[in-house]
Structure 1
Amino acid sequence: MKPDLLSDVQIRRTASGPQRQRLYDGRGLYLEMTPSGGRWWRFKYRFGGKEKLLSMGVYPDTSLKMAREKRDAARTLLASEVDPGVARKAAKASRAGVALDNFEAVAREFHETRQSEWSEAHSRRWIERLEKDIFPYLGASALPAISAPLLLQALQRVEARGVRETVHSLQQACGQVFGTASRLVELSETRPRTCAAHSSRFSSRTWRPSPSREPLALLSRPLLTIGAAP
């Protein structure tokens, strides 16, 4: 077994640079440092023949010792042929005790899975826009219950403020959420094992009926047609 490489002194002395950089510890754990000063623990692993990434917390709130403990726990799950990412989502759902298919729950899960791929600024703006303009109106609604008119009303509230750029960004964000949910529903119906490996939240038992296709059609329309809709 290779020894761990990082130390608290090394982390504190390493300054953020103009590009993202990684400080590798060992056995899949590393600290990702952003130009803006953010420091995120990541655990890289392989499951089912695919490379995956799991967030282990933010430094210094999550110390080096705590990050290593989380990594070791994840490796223990892997040794038992359990995907630690799927196990984490299932645990969160169990603790929350809320509906797993409402718009906010699905959007936040999508956001969590994309954080490692997006810039810190884009990740923050993406979720903040939904928290301000969509969650208060549609967040608690199950995706199958969200019709095109309901979604249109939410977007028109934003458009009334004269911020078309924000409306366009919200169109894209909502489209990502509905699109992801729709693809997972199709997987649950045609390839249940693949769907379960992708996310434990979207099993055929907890996801019925499929999200309406109406919002997807609305979100594919050009921005200028939103305000003109009857």
Structure 2
Amino acid sequence: MKRAELFSAVAHEMKGLGFKRRKSNYEYVLDLGPGFEGWCSFADATKGEKTALWVATFVGVRSAEIENRILAWCGDVVPGWDGRFYVPTVSMNVGYLAPESQWREHRIDLAAHSVEDAIRPNLSDVTDIALDFLREHASYAGLAAAMKLDRGQLTERTMERLPIALALQGDMEGAHRELAPMRRQVDEAAYLAPRYLRYLQGFETEFPLERLREE
């Protein structure tokens, strides 16, 4: 079995689950309703084995409202990644959502496994874990809850996205509290301080806490 055959089979099965392929057979999206999109991705590595692949499954939810604000305020969705890049608002390896809460990947022997046997573990990640996660977190409250899990996520991305998710669900006090780490980065003149200043200006213009207190 060739690597291309493996991921072609994955693409077929993901289509059957309602996903649409993005730019390759490694990344898929699922409509979760207005403004929200589910995301699944597969990452493979050889780890020095000629006939084996290690394949990990990732799951995430993207909010257009959140990502568009970050792009408008900061100039890119992630430092160095402009609007052409697709970034889930929250994402993680599915293993962190399983009872063991740890990194998960599956070893596939391209020489010994059939295509059906090879793709089964990663597809089970999708059907048994990822789909439930997507359905449960396709809202601002759901996104905020997922980000607060703090399991296998990038702190810098969560720091920019959690305040917006809270603000959009109406928790303005909580949203402004979550800005504290970013303010510390600015005070300490961290290398991302200019970016965070732009973010804070954009956030406080759209979601001013003082005005809400007066109302």
When normalised by structure 2's length, the TM-score is 0.29
The structure with more helix, counted as a fraction of residues: 1
Higher relative contact order (CA 8 A, sep 6+): 2
The structure with more strand, counted as a fraction of residues: 2
When normalised by structure 1's length, the TM-score is 0.27
